[in-house]
Chain A
Amino acid sequence: MQVPAPLDAMVQAIRRDADVISARQMGRALAEDLGFSRPDQALVATAISELARNIVVYADHGEIELTTLQQGDRQGIRIIARDHGPGIADLERALCDGFSTGNSLGLGLPGTRRIMDEFDIRSPPGEGVTIIAVKWQLR
């Protein structure tokens, strides 16, 4: 299998809720530029919104990095959400529909995993959380 080649990357620092909007608008604009379908543009923006909000709520600050990937003749968007907050002790539980320590719906992480094509979450003790999610363009 070909390894996807990263093209260009952009980073949005996430510190407060206004940054959540900036990040998701940046993602939608990128998806639109790459010719993603309208529903897929909305999915990319929604995923970014969920990951960025989790950073603000649970980790205080962090960043969202967006990279365009090229694999063969198709393009994708890779979202990396990174923070150095308290981390997630039980990843499996955090990925269950309805699990929330913030008295919310508990759908951000499981929902994001459902709407993206690739989803990887890591939280080594003491190192915060890093989530990598990719959405590929439909051919």
Chain B
Amino acid sequence: MTVTVPILRQGSALIASIQEDLCDSDILNLQSRILEDVIRYRANAVIVDVSAIGILDSFGTKTLIEIAHSVKLRGAKMIIVGIQPDVAISMVLLGLTLKDIPTALDLDHGLALIGET
């Protein structure tokens, strides 16, 4: 089963809302599509909404960090929004950090952060 995460455009920003538990290959697929779209639309920001995700393990976290770094290399910035409280607790206990990737409470706050409200 393959899950394709929809990537929407809002102004010069891209919004990827992860709707369900993604397997590793789905996450890798999302990574390449985000990069393609950043280039194609000359986006200056990417918001990844993870509010529907019930778990972020080491692989998921590592991939998000990689996506953020590659987006940054294109001169755009990435924001992760909607990390659920239970997910945040497990990440902290597991020792996972999102390094320097900015986060916001939800999509609205994320859009406000990049000035797209």
Contact = CB atoms under 8 A, between A and B. Distances in A.
A108 B24 CA distance: 15
Interface string A82-117: 000000000000000100000011011011101100
A78 interface: no
B95 interface: yes
Interface string A39-62: 101110110011001000000000
A25 interface: yes
Interface string A112-126: 101100000000000
Interface string B17-61: 000010111000000000000000000000000000011011101
A107 B58 contact: yes
A21 B23 contact: yes
Contacts of B86: 38-39, 41-42
Contact of A111 (B21, B24, B54, B94): B94
Contacts, number: 72
Contact of B57 (A25, A28, A53): A53
Interface of B: 1, 21, 23-25, 54-55, 57-59, 61-62, 85-87, 89-90, 93-96
A50 B97 CA distance: 16
The 10 A-B pairs at the shortest CB distance, nearest first, are namely: A111-B94, A17-B24, A42-B86, A49-B57, A46-B90, A42-B90, A17-B23, A39-B86, A39-B89, A107-B95
A25 B95 CA distance: 22
30 contacts: A17-B25, A18-B23, A20-B23, A21-B23, A24-B55, A25-B21, A28-B55, A38-B86, A39-B90, A42-B54, A42-B55, A42-B89, A42-B90, A43-B93, A45-B54, A45-B55, A46-B90, A49-B57, A49-B59, A50-B58, A53-B24, A53-B57, A53-B59, A104-B59, A107-B94, A107-B96, A108-B57, A114-B93, A115-B90, A115-B93
